Amino acid sequence: MNPIIDASTTSSSSVELTEAMNEAFKDTGELASNAKNFYDFMAKYFQRPDWTFMNYGFAIQDNDLHKTILRNGDVDDLNPALYYVQLYSAAISDTNLEGLDVIEIGCGRGGGSAWIARNFNVKSMVGIDYSENAIEFCQKCHAAIPNLRFEHGNAECLPYSNNTFDIVINVESSHCYPSMERFLSEVYRVLKRGGYFLWTDFRQAKEKTVLLEQFKTSGLEMIEKVDITENVDLGFDKGREARLSLLKEFPNELQTKLKSWIETSRYKNGETFFLRCRFKKPLTHNMHSNTDI
């Protein structure tokens, strides 16, 4: 089994690791409050090549996997990767990606972008993330996949021209963004007319009205909205054992910080919901949109 800390790629001492960990968990100790430091830290110090996803997962009660394509290389040894992949599969649903230019914003460790590049016959696939360390990891880890590249970039200021992509996908990342409005206007800008935006993420129940209003004023046409809270909850439960097993390879201090997060179900109390939505950039300029691209 590979060590979780790959000594050949980091020359970290335990003191350096502890300092980096303290930085990553600075402020309140909550993951989302210091997201960039946290994701940078994880990508720099935990380079395990078969750990390529970081989402809650998705499962269907009767284990109905018919829509999820898995091949050799898609499922990791220790990871409950099947459930992670299924969150991507749910986001894509039956959208056709064949021959198209696709971008994933907030690609993390790149497992989702790699899965799409391998299985959907896309013309090109680019994964971007604002964690430089995550992008460096992705570039090494998924280098062998043709038509796939990873670039550093911020969801609120995308380094691409107008009308570049046919499909934008965004999986469990937007809850980290300071401005959802700025992100949505960037998605609108880089999407070609008639292109699709496939989004899935969680929010606090009290944020729902604001979120739906942000979608409404984005200029994108919402064509599907599905509450997948129960599926994500089930996916998280089913993946728990594998996560706890992965956790055992982490330094003790980090195990303590992450254990209660892994053991607690997020979605049972009704305070948090998880949605997946599909949007289309209209073929003609929408009078209600505040953008003219």
Ligand X SMILES: C[S@@+](CC[C@H](N)C(=O)[O-])C[C@H]1O[C@@H](n2cnc3c(N)ncnc32)[C@H](O)[C@@H]1O
One DSSP character per residue, 114-140 reads HHHHHHS--SEEEEEES-HHHHHHHHH
For ligand X, give the closer residue by CB, 99 or 159. Answer: 159
* Cα→Cα distances 16→6, 30, 55, 139, Å: 15, 21, 27, 24
Shortest CB 244 distance to ligand X, Å: 18
Which single residue brings its beta carbon nearest to ligand X? 108
For ligand X, give the closer residue by CB, 86 or 195. Answer: 86
Alpha helices in 142-207 (DSSP H): 180-190
Nearest residue to 5 (alpha-carbon basis) of 18, 277, 242: 18
For ligand X, give the closer residue by CB, 76 or 129. Answer: 129
For ligand X, give the closer residue by CB, 59 or 176. Answer: 176
Q: What's the distance, CA 232 to chain centroid?
A: 13
Q: Which amino acid, one-letter code, is at 148?
A: L
For ligand X, give the closer residue by CB, 171 or 191. Answer: 171
Are 168 and 190 spatial neighbours (Cβ–Cβ below 8 Å)? yes
Q: Which residues contact 146 (CB under 8 A, 6 or more apart)?
A: 117
Shortest CB 188 distance to ligand X, Å: 16
Residues engaged in binding ligand X (CB under 6 A) = 35, 39, 53-55, 105-108, 111-112, 129-131, 134, 154-156, 171-173, 176-177
Shortest CB 211 distance to ligand X, Å: 16
Shortest CB 172 distance to ligand X, Å: 5
Shortest CB 14 distance to ligand X, Å: 25
